[in-house]
Amino acid sequence: MTKVIVGMSGGVDSAVAAYLLKKEGYQVEGLFMRNWDSTINNDIEGNPTLGNHICPQEQDYNDALEACKILEIPLHRVDFIKEYWDYVFTYFLEELKKGRTPNPDLLCNKYIKFDLFKKEANRLGADFIATGHYAKTMDGNLYRGVDRNKDQSYFLAMIKREQLENVLFPIGNFEKKIVRTIANEIGLNVAQKKDSTGICFIGERNYQAFIKNYLQPNPGPILNVETLERIGTHTGLMNYTIGQRRNVGISGNEKRHYVCGKDVEKNILYVAFGDSHYLYSDACLVENVNFISSKRPISCTAKFRYRGDDYPVSLEYMDNGTIKVCYPEGVKAVTPGQACVFYLEEECLGCGIIKEIYKENKKLFYL
């Protein structure tokens, strides 16, 4: 019998994925990954964030264990705490120091879920691994999931083509509401469990309080990008991202405002008011390029953030391996450090990490 090891997260998606595979006749076993030590961080008062409550990660494990009991499949457990720190979290901190907005989920998929996890599954005798991602594969290529609102191909765009070998995405052809319906019908304990949001290792923590454990806050001026007038004080550039409009730190000004840039050397946060042209760019340079597909188009569409719109773009392949991505109609809040993910209709081609932003062939001074 063909053996599949399913990455059990403690959520409804992976549990239903395991159920569907078992229903198809596979020998199914679960494997829970522990990637972060939830007890080492403090909240804003300096006390353990978790208080007297069970930590979210242990709750996830207990939920996964109960789901596996219901499905009558075994559950294994493995720790990748050191590896996650070395390959994902260290990068996350270094990017924040540069004033960029990293997306650790892409690296987690590349180095942990589709590398170390896969090796551990193979050690357990797996013929295939499976996850609860909303995505699809066909002929070695990666495609969007049927549910466009939940599609997670964006987060998989940094993995190598060979990492997709012997990988199954059982819920890629389902909408989320159908997944929950299945979970309810078979009596899964996680049927109504809320989806996890935000950065995986932060969980429900206060973000700024969490980051203080690793990066010393360095307050500085907030400037109106048009007048260069000082209009406030920021709490540290790592606490802000391009396009942010809540909790920016400008008091007494009700006009809608957005973070539009950072100057790391001068420790300045720039803010634009209204739908300002300062929020828009028409090109960016991406580095650390990864293609899953063998296709190298000169035009396609791109997503500049998860759940963002698809924009038509043209690609200029540079000699140093970077790609200049052009979008003449302009895109709002393209953010250094985020992934620019390329698509040809439903196929996810791969991605690059946004390095620099341009407008009218000039690098924007405030980014």
Amino acid of residue 171: I
108 is an active site residue: yes
**pLDDT tens for each residue of 8-19:** 999 999 999 999
Tokens of residue 192, six digits: 């109504």
* For residues 347-359, average pLDDT: 96
pLDDT bracket for residue 321 (50, 70, 90): very high
Answer whether residue 367 shows pLDDT above 90: no
Q: Do domains 216-275 and 279-363 have the same CATH topology?
A: no
pLDDT bracket for residue 50 (50, 70, 90): very low
Report phi then psi at 338, rounded to 5.
Answer: -80, 165
**pLDDT tens for each residue of 322-340:** 999 999 999 999 999 999 9
In the chain, what are the domain boundaries?
A: 3-185, 216-275, 279-363
284 is an active site residue: no
Nearest-angstrom CA–CA distance, 282 and 280: 7
Answer whether residue 202 shows pLDDT above 80: no
| Of 23-27, 200-204, 213-217, 260-264, minimum mean pLDDT range | 200-204
Instruction: Pick the catalytic residue from 55, 68, 108, 340.
Output: 108
**pLDDT tens for each residue of 233-288:** 999 999 999 999 988 988 766 688 999 999 999 999 999 998 899 999 999 999 99
The CATH topology of domain 279-363 is Elongation Factor Tu (Ef-tu); domain 3 (2.40.30)
Nearest-angstrom CA–CA distance, 308 and 287: 20
- Neighbour tally for 127: CB within 10 Å: 14
Helix/strand/coil percentages in the chain, nearest 5: 25, 30, 45
User: Model-level pTM?
Assistant: 0.92
More confident residue, 42 or 109: 109
Instruction: Pick the catalytic residue from 55, 68, 200, 284.
Output: 200
pLDDT bracket for residue 37 (50, 70, 90): confident
Nearest-angstrom CA–CA distance, 333 and 68: 42
The CATH superfamily holding the domain 3-185 is HUPs (3.40.50.620)
Amino acid of residue 187: G
More confident residue, 68 or 208: 68
The CATH topology of domain 216-275 is SH3 type barrels. (2.30.30)
Alpha helix stretches (DSSP H) within 72-128: 81-84, 90-97, 104-107, 117-123
Supply the pLDDT for residue 144: 98
- For the chain, the average pLDDT equals 91
